[in-house]
Structure 1
């Protein structure tokens, strides 16, 4: 086994991190290497896997994956590497179950997974098919209201329709 020399403070910090995560010191070092800024270069997409590069940060771990239309997620590194899921939510739940099995794994995968666009972190939701809307709500720009839409007569008519009128 190879050894690495570190100063006493680093050794104490590494030992503490290993105890807290219930891992060996070597596993802590491996995770640091796998999640460092250089790791993107080390984790290319598998042959035949294109798509959009995505990632998730959970419980101190970064998991890299590829988003494949129309909604599949292929994990490219970490303990779940090589697994493909039918939906972003299924992939998110698998990550959570792996790193923290004691918690409820119910998550929205479209917001769990992130995209890095020129240094700006965005949720996967931002490229979800059909997610582009002209504004708040699905009827914005399509709903035509009359000038009296909020008049007393209209409000009383609505109240009558719902059985709320006196």
Structure 2
């Protein structure tokens, strides 16, 4: 069996999560990897690209473009955050704010931060296509 080294705080957190989930620490690590963007990138279905909705956000004079994948994932496709994937629009919005203005609180509602890229038509916030289960 292989081992990994973690600091004491991480070990305690991992042990607590394992107890709460009635699982082993190894299973918790496997679940975290599977749920991460790295794990998702390896398991993405090929048809997912067909469901991608182009979106953008304007913040601090910078436009950041992305792709929205229902029910909530956002992948940034240009600029300094290009290639980063987030489980929620809010996670992606917070990353944009942190990047361009690290001195402010990054708390943002991503559904009201991102806009649908409809080729210059009227402004439509991502909230307009938010799934009902969120």
CA distance in 2, matches of 1:80, 1:116: 18
CA distance in 2, matches of 1:113, 1:68: 13
SS at match of 2:79: coil
Q: Give the equivalent residue in structure 2 for 1:74.
A: 75
Q: Give the equivalent residue in structure 1 for 2:85.
A: 84
Q: Give the equivalent residue in structure 2 for 1:61.
A: 62
CA distance in 2, matches of 1:86, 1:116: 20
TM-score, normalising length: structure 1: 0.48
User: Which among 125, 128, 133 is matched to residue 127 of structure 2?
Assistant: 125
Q: Give the equivalent residue in structure 2 for 1:103.
A: 104
Q: Give the equivalent residue in structure 2 for 1:9.
A: none
Say what the alpha-carbon RMSD is for the aligned residues: 1.6
Higher relative contact order (CA 8 A, sep 6+): 2
CA distance in 1, matches of 2:94, 2:109: 9
The answer (yes or no) to whether the contact 1:49–1:66 under 8 Å persists in 2 is: no
TM-score, normalising length: structure 2: 0.59
- More helix per residue: 2
Q: Deviations over 1:54-95 (max 9, x none)?
A: 000000000000000110000000000000000000000000
* Offset at residue 116 of structure 1 (A): 3.2
Q: Which runs of at least 4 in structure 1 moved beyond 4 Å after TM superposition? A: none
**Structure 1 portions without partners, runs of 5+:** 1-47, 132-166
- Bigger Rg, which one: 1
* Offset at residue 111 of structure 1 (A): 0.3
Say how many residue pairs are matched: 84
